[in-house]
Amino acid sequence: EWILHNDQFIQEEDLKISMEDRGYQFGDGIYEVIRVYEGNLFTAEEHIDRFYESAEKIKIVIPYTKDVFHKLMYDLVEKNEIDNGIVYVQMTRGCAPRVHQFPADCPPVIVANTKSMERPVEAMRSGVQTKFVEDVRWLRCDIKSLNLLGNVLAKQEAYEEGLFEAILHRGETVTEGSSSNMYGIKNGVLYTHPATNLILNGITRRVILELCKEQGIEVQETAFTKSEALEMDEFFMSSTTSEVMPIIAIDGHKIGSGVPGELTKKLQKAFEEKLK
Ligand code: PDD
């Protein structure tokens, strides 16, 4: 298994990360997960743009052009002969004696690896169950930060109950999933939280909103409440790894008739067409 360390390809066992890496000590860094279908990076430019935007938001300068960065991702996939899978890439502010403020002369540390992964076809066919979990994260969820403790704790709470995802809410307002975006459909209109500081604007989310336009599905980027969520005709989530994933129950309460909805299935199909 090759991994990327800054601009070098090395074997994973040869990677040395300092105890004083700020990612390790502060979660002071950012990441991306990019999907690979049939050896091709899906929506790579969008992911790379978001990576550069996240870096800028936390004031880290990436020492490569986007083209060079793209090539590094591509070469890693090729070296590891990944057919279907993901690239995980992260960048921390670098290594320095531990102080909270940014250290001087601290080059960032980039690492990336790949993993083979098939599409979750079974779950996408049957739909998944979820629960509400209070969103206790910080107020810059638009940054794809390595600080994922709020997300980890929420996902674990769902996982312990045998559920696929936690639906986060701030007070009564549904924001997003622990590692996904959330959508409800009512009377043919698709509702999803607007792309504010309270959610990560998913790349899959952007593809889906585009597909809605193409399919003539009306979209309202308007937040909805927990009780409105339970009254939706259809519900689904999206992410790089889960694509368009139907949600058939929240807190044991069936959504619609408790099976994947028609518009959700239409979007799944349209999404699949994009992969060809
Ligand atoms: N998670 N919201 C959150 C909090 C996320 O962590 C993710 C992605 C998304 C969906 O974004 P995208 O469609 O760009 O994958 C929304 C990735 C997959 C992860 O952490 O593994």
CB neighbourhood size of 1 (10 A): 10
| Residue of 31, 200, 208 to mutate, ligand 1, most atoms within 8 A of C-beta | 200
Nearest C-alpha to atom 12 of ligand 1 is from which residue?
Answer: 202
Q: What is the model's pLDDT at position 35?
A: 98
Identify the band that residue 104 occupies on the pLDDT scale cut at 50, 70 and 90: very high
For 110, half-sphere exposure in the C-beta direction (CA atoms, 13 angstrom radius) is 20
Find the mean pLDDT for residues 46-75.
Answer: 98
Residues 242-270 have pLDDT tens digits of: 999 999 999 999 999 999 999 999 999 99
Separation between Cα atoms, residue 61 and residue 30, nearest integer Å? 12
Domain boundaries, the chain: 2-116, 121-274
At residue 74, the pLDDT reads 98
For 72-96, b/e burial (b = at least 16 CB within 10 A) is bbbebbeebebeebbbebbbbbbbb
Does the annotation count 144 as an active-site position? yes
The one-character DSSP state at 21 is B
* Residue 94, token pair as written in the block: 């670098």
Catalytic residue among 16, 71, 144, 274: 144
Q: Which pLDDT does position 253 carry in this prediction? A: 98
Q: CB of 240 closer than 6 A to ligand 1?
A: yes
Look at ligand 1, atom 20, and give the residue with the nearest C-alpha.
179
| CA gyration radius, the chain | 19
The DSSP bridge pattern shows strands 218-220 and 189-192 to be: parallel
Quick one: 138 exposed, middle or buried, by C-beta within 10 A (0-12, 13-18, 19+)?
A: exposed
Question: Half-sphere exposure of 249 toward its Cβ, with a 13 Å CA cutoff?
Answer: 12
- Given CATH 3.30.470.10, say whether it is the number of domain 2-116: yes
Question: Quick one: pLDDT at residue 178?
Answer: 99
Q: pLDDT, tens digit, for every residue of 222-240? A: 999 999 999 999 999 999 9
Residue 97 C-alpha to ligand 1 middle, in angstroms? 31
- Ligand 1 atom closest to 151 (CA): 4
Query: Once rounded to an integer, what is the mean pLDDT over residues 162-183?
Result: 99
The band of 214, judged by pLDDT with boundaries at 50, 70 and 90, is very high
List of E strands, the chain = 2-5, 8-11, 29-37, 40-41, 85-92, 109-116, 128-134, 165-170, 173-177, 181-186, 189-192, 218-220, 234-239, 243-250, 253-254
Distance 245 CA to ligand 1 centre (A): 13
The pLDDT score that the predictor gives to residue 204 is 99
Q: Which residues pair with 11 in a beta bridge?
A: 2
Q: What is the mean pLDDT of residues 182-198?
A: 98
pLDDT band for 98, please (50, 70, 90 cuts): very high
Q: In CATH terms, are 2-116 and 121-274 the same topology?
A: no
Can you give the pLDDT at residue 109? Answer: 98
**Best residue among 179, 201, 244 to mutate for probing ligand 1, ranked by most atoms within 8 Å of CB:** 179
Percentage with pLDDT > 70 across the chain: 100
User: What pTM, to 2 d.p., does this model score?
Assistant: 0.98
User: Domain 121-274, what fold?
Assistant: D-amino Acid Aminotransferase; Chain A, domain 2 (3.20.10)
